[in-house]
A = this chain, B = another copy of it.
């Protein structure tokens, strides 16, 4: 099994392979056209603050689904999916510190866990490619570069922190098209939040991202910045909850919903 073989498979098939331990790699490109989601799991005592944080910061924190307390079964965005096993790799944080990476969180599952599935820019990147807008980190086969900005999120209870953005370089003409294309996807980050001078966001060096990998910015290209799903994870870790579980970077939850279902036009 490889990426090419699984790119056309149904999400339920790929989730089953993941659940059985037969696929342990990043999920980019699998079940092409279906929405992939970030995961944050928190004990119920933090859930209201986190839900409010997402409500107040919808651009970086577009919630796709919130499971009932203690329920590990996805209801709205997928069927027959178990959030404890259907992601290839999880990260377990205690007091905000990364501990283990595991392939199955069944052994550490708690009856007070609330699982949050959050939209991801994978959903609009296919739309960019379909519109001949380059997605450099795909061309360069690396992770998208992400930067902490000087823009504070709206705090909610114990959660606060800076807006984290992802960056894709392109020409001005491509940026205009990218603004049009991504505006159609308000529930997966939507339109960019800035283009051009990174210093206006407090970003000093595009070649040293805070998360992910640096990509080439070619002559004649400008950086374009989108609100990024790393924002809520960073806010969670900074608040040092007793325990928090997330997907490992690039190892996402594959939903049964098509990317186009999240476009409003």
Contact = CB atoms under 8 A, between A and B. Distances in A.
A52 B51 contact: yes
Nearest to A190: B264
Interface string A173-196: 000000000010011001100000
Interface in A58-115: 63, 65-66, 76
Nearest to A48: B48
A52 B76 contact: no
Query: How many chain copies?
Result: 2
B51 A264 contact: no
B183 A265 contact: yes
Given A190-B264, A264-B186, A264-B264, A55 B55 contact: yes
A154 interface: yes
A35 B167 CA distance: 32
A76 B191 contact: no
A124 B176 CA distance: 26
Contact of A55 (B66, B183, B191, B264): B66
A63 to B, nearest CB: 6
A206 interface: no
A47 interface: yes
Give the residue among A48, A154, A187 with the most B Cβ atoms within 10 A: A48
A208 interface: no
A191 B63 CA distance: 20
A56 interface: yes
B56 A51 contact: no
Given A76-B154, A154-B76, A186-B186, A264 B52 contact: no
Interface string A189-211: 01100000000000000000000
Interface of A: 47-48, 51-52, 54-56, 63, 65-66, 76, 154, 183, 186-187, 190-191, 264-265
7 contacts: A48-B48, A48-B51, A52-B66, A55-B55, A55-B63, A56-B66, A183-B264
